[in-house]
Amino acid sequence: MTDALIADAIYDAMGTVLTRWTMGSAAAPAASFWRAELGEDPAEAELRLLALSGQFLGIAVTAEPASTLRILPDIPTLALPTLPEALRPLARRILTAKKLAQGKTELVDFLAARGWTTHPADWMPEGGDDDAPDVYAPWRDWADIAASNNAAWQQTNDHINAGNWDDFWPAARKVALAELRRRDPSAARAVLEAKLGHEGADTRLRLLSLLSERLSDDDIAFLEAIVADDRAPKVKALAASLLARLGHGAGIGEDAAELAGFFSVKTKGILRRSRVIEAERPKTPAQWQCRKALLDGAGLASFAGALGITPQELIAAWDWNVDPAADTALINLIVATGTDAQVADAAKAIGEHDATGLIVALAPRLAPAERARQAEAAMNAHGIRFELTQAMAGPAARLNDPLAAPAGKALLAALRSDDAKPSDQVAELHALGLIASREGARRSLERLTAAGLLQGDPRLDMLRLNAALDDKGAKP
């Protein structure tokens, strides 16, 4: 028998050998071709078979490659540097501890805001990960290429225009278009006018949202055309909300008039009389559902008009903290259809009325610096926890002495209590690490270790990473 035939016979028998081992049975009786080598002692035979079969499968058996091999392009270099090698284990531990995607996104956003990116071996976004910071757009496109059957890398370093639109992969295209919108709003709108209609509904929605940057009356004609002609209701709705921000929303209409019936404008005070908008409590579940649906579909201007007041007067007269569902719905109306001035009025109003949790819903329309300022003010004035402060501030927070705030004092007291456990305050300590400046993180570590926490306590990982990381990012 030739060597090739012997190898084939051994390979064919390996299936039976491995099956017997999997079932906990002796496999030597099935390896008759090695009878002489295995010997007569059953226990010794199993050990020898294990050694011989391992050597055979590791050396004589090789997987056949596919008929055609595809060489992927190199993973692109990003615009920001990779996290220093010495800090990568700490970042990996934080990523591993954060099982939910939101927790991982918080760390990635924090690093990008500080001027750093992850190592691709530690974390990479998927192609459809729209929540990833813009700096990761080349990696998102690379992931799409790797997941496709035959796509090849095609990228240009030129500024995007209608002529080179197809030279950009989707993630990089959106980033390039956003940069063009910031630099030259009319040029970006012209590119969208030429190319938006050729994209799918989800892509049209994502790209149209870029017009919220430097939105102006010059965009009205294009947005009106989208409202009139686009095929997707969600794209039409976004265009309508952008028009409303410019004061070109729909009229009062029957829905707005019906919505106004759930609220009343009253006056209060004897000497200094002022208006207040009070919610009429719905009497049945159907009425609650009707009010919610009307609020979800209304515009700020039409709602105010139906009440006989201006949007600014509506915000000023709103009776905050009485009907939380109505508060949230109004903030959502302002985010979707309010002007920049009305957004600023709302941020001021909810700060004055201790409705600070609503800043989280208002955050998409606030500049990063304003988000951070509102969050710090709420933390100091209203004693909100670090978790809510971080949700409000986003990655722009740079607090120099957060433990001096009421939330910090409460955290230290909880950690010093007699019944404190090693698993306590995990989320609060992580949030503290996200909102502190580098110096603030160092100060916090000193105070926390003085309070009894060990230097290596995993709850301090985010603070340690913050304190060790050079802050090269833009300041808010």
The pLDDT assigned to 230 comes to 93
pLDDT score, position 73: 84
Please tell me the distance from the alpha carbon of residue 451 to that of residue 429, in angstroms, as a whole number.
13
pLDDT at 253: 66
The pLDDT score that the predictor gives to residue 475 is 47
Question: Average pLDDT of each block of 10 consecutive residues along the chain (476 residues)?
Answer: 68 81 85 82 88 80 70 88 94 85 83 94 91 93 85 72 90 94 95 94 94 93 94 93 83 78 82 79 91 88 90 92 90 91 90 82 88 89 90 91 94 88 90 95 94 89 94 55
pLDDT in tens, 268-297: 766 566 889 988 888 899 999 999 999 888
Query: What are the backbone dihedrals phi and psi of residue 15, each rounded to the nearest 5 degrees, phi first?
Result: -60, -45
Structure tokens at 358: 């609503």
Residue type for position 168: F
Token pair 């459809």 in the structure block, residue: 128
pLDDT of residue 65: 67
The two tokens of residue 158 are: 């030129």
Query: What pLDDT does residue 271 have?
Result: 57
Tokens found for residue 266: 């009253």
pLDDT in tens, 411-428: 999 988 888 888 889 999
| Res 84: pLDDT | 93
Q: What are phi and psi of 265, to 5 degrees?
A: -100, 120
pTM listed for this prediction: 0.78
Residue 121: how many CB atoms within 10 A of its CB?
9
| pLDDT of amino acid 476 | 43
Q: What is the predicted pLDDT for the residue at 119? A: 95
If we measure between CA atoms, which residue out of 396, 426, 397 comes closest to residue 411? 426
The answer to whether the beta carbons of residues 427 and 100 sit under 8 Å apart is: no
Q: Where are the domains of the chain?
A: 3-60, 85-147, 165-245, 253-365, 368-468
Whether the CA torsion 88, 92, 95, 97 is positive or negative: it is negative
CA distances from 76 to 142, 208, 372 (A): 8, 27, 32
For residue 318, the cross-strand partners are: 277
Instruction: Decide: 168 and 176 in contact? Cβ < 8 Å.
Output: yes
Which residues have C-beta within 8 Å of that of residue 93, sequence separation ≥ 6?
Answer: 458, 461
